[in-house]
Chains A and B, each alone.
Chain A
Amino acid sequence: MVQITNLEEILSAHPFTAGMDHDALETIVGCCSNAVYHPGDYIFREGDPADDFYLIRQGVVALEIHVPQGQPIVVETLETGEIFGWSWLIPPYRWSNDARASEQVRLLKLDAACLRRKMESDRNLGYEIYKRFLPIMARRLANNRMRIVELALEPRPTHSRRKG
């Protein structure tokens, strides 16, 4: 089946699966499909069912947060070679942010229900996936903390002239 072989090659080329053994790749490729989004397209919205896990083959994706008043705000952009979407692994499996394509974006989508099922029934695969996932999220958390410190130390925009 030409289609699946192609996908397996593409999947194995993505940094997320680097070093993954052939059997594991073969198992998850069954959950895999291609997707393309145009600039401005929503890939998912806050509250939607978290049905997929995404690997960015090419392009830039913006994660946006809803705030009580006003428009959503972009808090992070992710690029070629990165991944996004983790709510698919955390009950109740609903997205907590919006994801939008900033540029033309080519993604690999892994169907969440399919992947969860395979991870539950094959704990080795499950552990393998978690082991790749968690350091990425931990790195993002560490970055965010650094950004908070940066923001605390950067001069704030002066909306009125400072006296004294």
Chain B
Amino acid sequence: MMTTTTADPMVPVPYRIARVIREIDGVFTWHLKSLDGSAFRFRPGQFNMVYHFGVGEIPVSVSGDCRDLDTLVHTIREVGPVTNAMATLRPGDVVGIRGPFGRPWPIDEVTGFDLIFVTSTIGLAPLRPLIYEVLHRRSDFGKVVICYGTRGTDDIMFEADLHRWRARFDTVVHLTVHSAPSGYRGRVGGVASAIRTARVDWPSTQAFVCRSEALTRQAVDTLGGLGVTPDRVWVTLERNMQCGIGLCGHCQLGPTFMCKDGPVYRFDQIEPLYAVREF
């Protein structure tokens, strides 16, 4: 499913960097504005192909609020030549955007359920638009719990958002770190133990997981043990996406194309494909 802001999905649209935010070490966020002032519409969970002209392009989930039509937000981690080069760009520089692509997170399908979000470190970025949207329509859902784990206090992303979410009486945030300096007052442990302390009605809970593939399995197992069956666990996968529209075959996962049929999947639907080693 694809909604495009341009006639040709293969041609990137120019966007100006309006703001660069240094997040945790090696991670930055761009606030982008279209050159012609047009709105960018997307649904939480979708991604764009982002172009640094002359250097290369990468798939990146949108990490902003889908109700803010004037600003396109992307959070990027420096992991290679393209992203390292992107990290040097400044406000005023122009990048190219193709998209949005991909299947978004379910929202209307999960009304009435308790919702639990499970993620760590930079995984909060692809989940943030979903959390924003859920909180815009808060009364459509039961309990909302965010389980967020990081290595240490230095890798906590979006602290302002976490603080705001925590301050709401209708949202619970379980933040854990793996270790912390003596005297730290917060919770220390793994994400799995954060999940177990969530007070939700497990048989009526939908879970949204954004972690590396290997740790997605771990989260699914922990949730399964608590009574959240795989048909109520939604995950986002991302691998080797290049064309974004199911043509180049690089992102193929069994019979599906992650760029088109994903990156968001209901876990029971990909479980049989999940264990396959050669992606």
Task: Report A's interface with B, CB cutoff 8 A.
Answer: 39-40, 60, 62, 64, 71-77, 79, 98, 100, 102-103, 143, 146-147, 149-151, 153-159, 161-164
Which of B80, B181, B183 touches A40 (beta carbons < 8 Å)?
B183
For window 39-93 of chain B, which residues contact chain A by CB distance below 8 Å?
Answer: 77-81, 84, 87
Is B218 touching A158 in the complex (CB atoms < 8 A)? Answer: no
Choice from B155, B192, B215 contacting A143 with Cβ under 8 Å: B192
In the assembled complex, which residues on chain B have CB atoms less than 8 Å from the CB atom of A156? 151
Please tell me if the beta carbons of A75 and B188 are within 8 angstroms of each other in the complex.
Answer: yes
CA distance A156 to B212 in the complex (A): 13
Q: Is the CB of A151 within 8 A of B178?
A: yes
Interface residues on B, range: 35 or more
Contact A143 B79 (CB under 8 A): no
Taking a contact as CB atoms under 8 Å apart, the answer to whether B26 and A146 are in contact is: no
> Closest chain A residue to B187 by CB distance?
A77
Evaluate whether A154 and B182 lie within 8 angstroms (CB atoms) in the complex, with A76-B189, A77-B189, A149-B218 already known: no
| B80 and A164 contact, CB distance less than 8 A | yes
Q: What B residues does A155 contact at CB under 8 A?
A: 26, 77, 79, 121-122
- Known pairs A74-B183, A77-B186, A77-B187; list 18 more (Cβ under 8 Å): A71-B181, A71-B182, A73-B182, A75-B179, A76-B188, A77-B188, A77-B189, A102-B184, A150-B190, A150-B218, A154-B120, A155-B77, A155-B121, A157-B26, A157-B155, A158-B26, A162-B26, A164-B81
Contact of B187 among A60, A100, A164 (CB under 8 A): A60
